[in-house]
Amino acid sequence: MTLRVGTRGSALAMAQTKALAARFAGDVEIVEITTKGDVDRTSLSQLGGTGVFVSALRDALLEGRVDVAVHSMKDLPTAPAAGIELAAVAKREDPRDALCARDGLTLAGLPEGAKVGTGSPRRAAQLRLARPDIEVVDIRGNVPTRLARAQGDDADLDAVVLALAGLKRLGLDGSATELLDLVDFPTAPAQGALAVEIREGDGASRAAVAKTDHGPTRAAADAERRVLAGLEAGCAAPVAAHAEVADGMLFLTAIAYATDGSRRLGASHAFTLDSSSPADLAEGARDVAERAVAELLEAGAADLVHEARTEG
Q: Evaluate the CA torsion angle 282, 72, 74, 235 in order and state its sign.
A: negative
Q: Residue 2: CB partners within 8 Å, gap ≥ 6?
A: 26, 27, 28, 29
Other beta carbons within 10 angstroms of residue 39's beta carbon come to 9
DSSP-derived secondary structure for 257-277? E-TTSS-EEEEEEEEE-S-S-
Name the nearest CA neighbour of 58 among 195, 235, 178, 221: 195
Q: How many helices (H) and strands (E) does the chain have?
A: 11, 13
Q: Which helix (H) or strand (E) holds 293?
A: helix 278-299
78 three-class SS:
coil
Rounded to the nearest 5°, which phi and psi values hold at 232?
Answer: 50, 45
Residues annotated as catalytic are: 75
127 close to 180: Cβ distance less than 8 angstroms? no
150/161 Cα distance (integer angstroms)? 10
119/183 Cα distance (integer angstroms)? 21
